[in-house]
Amino acid sequence: PTAADFTEYFNAPTFYMEKDFSQLTLSDEEQCHLYHAAKIIQHFYRRYKDKKEQQQRQRQRQMEAAILIQSYYRRYKQYMYFKRMTQAAVLIQSQFRTYYAQKRFRKSREAATIIQCRYRAYKEHERYKKSRSAAVIIQQRFRS
């Protein structure tokens, strides 16, 4: 290689680099066009991002609403269960009280029947004793 070849070799890359750089610089019109394109892209990206965030907030609100509804429904079911159990307890108590009152009434009625029977027997016995003693007195008077 000659000195001229070396010179050409070392000068070549700067020439090509300057040529490539010149291709990278944009005219004012191209820069304005790219600026507006970037603004449009940013605008749509921000809209897309806002829409995603809004959807996320909407899903969060729906989730919270669903949890609230479930909570109220569970509370309602628990209340209805409590109410049914209370009504069942009242019914059982009422039936038991009725049964117990009827049992007490039957016992007191049986006791009253026994008392009446014994009283009538006593009265009949007293009447019999009185009638017998009267008959004895009558017989004694007839005999004497």
Count of structural domains within the chain: 1
Q: Are 26 and 34 in contact (CB under 8 A)?
A: yes
Query: Cβ atoms within 10 A of the Cβ of 60, count?
Result: 10
Residue 3 covered by a domain? no
Structural domain range at position 137: 33-143
Paired tokens of 23: 């291709």
24 within a domain of the structure (yes/no): no
Asked if the structure places residue 27 within a domain, the reply is no
Residue 114 lies in a domain: yes
Residue 19 lies in a domain: no
Per-residue model confidence as pLDDT tens digits over 83-135: 999 999 999 999 999 999 999 999 999 999 999 999 999 999 999 999 999 99
Residue 62 lies in a domain: yes
pLDDT tens-digit series, residues 38-97: 999 999 999 999 999 999 999 999 999 999 999 999 999 999 999 999 999 999 999 999
For the entire predicted model, the pTM comes to 0.49
Q: pLDDT tens digits, residue range 80-90?
A: 999 999 999 99
